[in-house]
Structure 1
Amino acid sequence: MPDFGLRTAVVLIIFNRPDTTARVFAEIAKAKPPRLLVIGDGPRGDRQGEMEQVAKAREIVQRVDWLCTVQTNFSDVNLGCKKRVSSGIDWVFSQVDEAIILEDDCLPEPSFFRFCEEMLERYRADLRVGMISGDNFQTDPIPGADSYYFSKYCHIWGWASWKDRWVESYDVGMAQWPRVRDTGQLADMLGGSGPARYWGKIFSRVHRGEVDTWDYQWVFANWLQGRLSVMPTVNLVSNIGFRPDATHTNSLTELADLPTMPMAFPLQHPVGLLRNTRADRVSAKRCFQPLWRRIYGRVKGWPRILSQKIKHVLA
């Protein structure tokens, strides 16, 4: 894509893994964003050697060798995933009106950046769209020639959004959840009692402060506003962070290290703005299932997981 010059700010969220940070940063460097905003959490006091790893990760993002404004938002103390990422994105959208966001284990295919930028521009004024994802977790190709589809899910292994979507709806404490729970609105949002039970348990745990995360709150915010996500018909981001030292992705699954494919340009746009329910059913089965079904799925997918384990041992 020699004729493409990225104009959108890129956000990189880092912590204590300089090796994955270096790989993701290398892809960002190829894209040469004009503005790079880096969010970093502080080391945990009870983890030996973590201070050094945090320092190494932060040093990597100082290696900018292109024309770029670099801004950092580093915490001296460990805030945890929930507070650090949510407050970091709050900071991002106090600086810019739209951004492409990557975590230190989300390795983008080069065309990811152009895809996000074109989608940010196309749907900037369309409040029916809450975010753009770089992820495709489908088991089979999406029928048709379109470059992307619309989903109710919010896959955040490489994503992009706008200030107004975040600022006007995101609430890390999920203050509206009890009202939604008590009125049964979640079943209406999700189209059935089964999904409502699954997500209701998650949202209740998040609301009680039992889960140190920020992303379920983003899902809830988008559903509360009736917004959809843009999903590419090819996978543009691979999560390289499934390993024991990860904060959340510390066990291998069939979604780890998924291969990526370049997006073809010019983009082919869908007719209208309708959710692809068939694709969402696949995403639900692969990503959002009760525990026993996820275990069964892992057993079925053991050859791929075994291959991943061998790959990590030999790496």
Structure 2
Amino acid sequence: MNMDNSIAPVVLFTYKRLDTLIHTVQCLRNNYLASQTDLFIFCDGSKNTTDNDKVRAVQNFCDQIEGFKSVTVFKSPINKGLANSVKQGVSEILKTHGQAIVLEDDLETTPNFLDYMNQALDVYKNVPQVFSISGYTFPLERKGLKQDVFFHPRGSSWGWATWADRWNTVNWQILQTVSISDMIKARDMGSDWVPLIKKVKAQTNDSWAIPWIVNQCLQGSFTVYPTSSKISNIGFGPEATHTQKSNHRFLTTLDEGTQRKFRMEQKVTRHPGLIRQFNHRLSYWYRAYSLLHFYSTQLWSKIVSKPETVVPQ
């Protein structure tokens, strides 16, 4: 078993979105540590004949990827769905590597993303209160901050990392026994938290991330977030699995990408100011504002694109 903790492998999940995948790989390849990083790609199988050509194009592209220490491509002969693909793929890589950085095929990374993730994995590997590392964060006011990270009880599935000993504690059936009242009491989890859980319990949302985060919540653990985001989601749209509507609420300001050493406090502490800013984006008010922005933008787009009516002479 290879437990070399120097450079963590990257696990990338993809299905049929070639355009976003190409951008994701290009950005990742521009990372300072790309040439020292093993890349494992899990390509899901087609769920219907309509998707066959798109899936084949994605798999052909993956076979040609270069610029990393190694590239290993797994092609599923069947459609597992995102949830099963992530659970099985991450588990497989963690068995042999002990830690992993996980991406999906619609994430833009900064050049120092791998530096930040690897440093955080090393700093917090022996801090059991830290459940995972996130590369994404909302835009935050950083004036006067002495650290480059902060801690929050809610996890994120957009460019994240964890260790085998924490991943293996996850009970994937947790939502069958957890009560909604317990989740309502969960601190700082956001106004969308309970609706998301209800959707997964009702099987209208096939999410691996919700039960994963519920486990973290019930354990009283934390996710380490950067104060400046290393990730931007570029996948909002009709082809997306869970991000089809609006990206306004999740727009962020990316790190410039030049910093390669980060100030990370090892002791888990709560920073009320940063948590308050973070939670603002999870509030009812901001969710409503974001939806209003989305629908007004859609309406305006239809108005300006409407062809001019020609009046007969």
Query: TM-score normalized by structure 1?
Result: 0.81
Structure-1 residue corresponding to 2:3? none
Query: Any gaps of 5 or more consecutive residues in structure 2?
Result: 1-5, 306-313
Structure-2 residue corresponding to 1:267? 262
Q: How many residues align?
A: 292
**1:25, CA displacement in angstroms?**
1.1
Structure-2 residue corresponding to 1:45? 48
After superposition, residues 20-35 of structure 1 pair within 5 angstroms as 20-30=20-30, 31-35=34-38
Query: TM-score normalized by structure 2?
Result: 0.82
Deviates more, 1:123-132 or 1:252-261: 252-261
Q: CA RMSD in A?
A: 2.9
**1:289, CA displacement in angstroms?**
4.2
1:231-263 Cα distance to aligned partner (Å, 9 max, x none) = 111111111111221111112321456341126
Given that residues 152 and 275 in structure 1 are in contact (C-alpha distance below 8 angstroms), is that contact kept between their aligned partners in structure 2? no
**1:34, CA displacement in angstroms?**
3.4
* Amino acid in structure 2 at the alignment position of 1:294: R
Give the distance between the partners of 1:148 and 1:263, measured in 2 at CA.
16
**1:114, CA displacement in angstroms?**
0.3
Instruction: For residue 131 of structure 2, give the secondary structure of its aligned residue in structure 1.
Output: strand
After superposition, residues 162-201 of structure 1 pair within 5 angstroms as 162-169=163-170, 171-174=171-174, 178=177, 180-181=178-179, 184-187=181-184, 189-190=186-187, 199-201=193-195
After superposition, residues 239-258 of structure 1 pair within 5 angstroms as 239-255=233-249, 258=252
Deviates more, 1:130-139 or 1:102-111: 130-139
| Cα 1:164/1:243, change in 2 over 3 Å | same
Corresponding position: 1:223 with 2:217? yes
After superposition, residues 1-315 of structure 1 pair within 5 angstroms as 7-30=7-30, 31-45=34-48, 48=50, 50-66=51-67, 68-141=69-142, 143-169=144-170, 171-174=171-174, 178=177, 180-181=178-179, 184-187=181-184, 189-190=186-187, 199-255=193-249, 258-261=252-255, 262=257, 264-270=259-265, 272-286=267-281, 288-290=282-284, 294-299=287-292
Of structures 1 and 2, the larger Rg is shown by 2
| Cα 1:271/1:16, change in 2 over 3 Å | closer
1:65-119 Cα distance to aligned partner (Å, 9 max, x none) = 3463333333222222222222222222223211111110011001010000000
| Cα 1:256/1:227, change in 2 over 3 Å | closer
| Cα 1:102/1:189, change in 2 over 3 Å | same
Structure-1 residue corresponding to 2:310? none
* Amino acid in structure 2 at the alignment position of 1:181: S
What fraction of aligned residue pairs are identical, expressed as a percent?
A: 24
**1:167, CA displacement in angstroms?**
1.2
1:18-65 Cα distance to aligned partner (Å, 9 max, x none) = 11111111223232243111122111216x2x2111121122222243
Structure-2 residue corresponding to 1:3? none
* Amino acid in structure 2 at the alignment position of 1:9: P
Instruction: For residue 32 of structure 1, give the secondary structure of its aligned residue in structure 2.
Output: helix
* Amino acid in structure 2 at the alignment position of 1:52: D
**1:213, CA displacement in angstroms?**
1.1
1:172-209 Cα distance to aligned partner (Å, 9 max, x none) = 3325x52x417x54355427xxx698534432432343
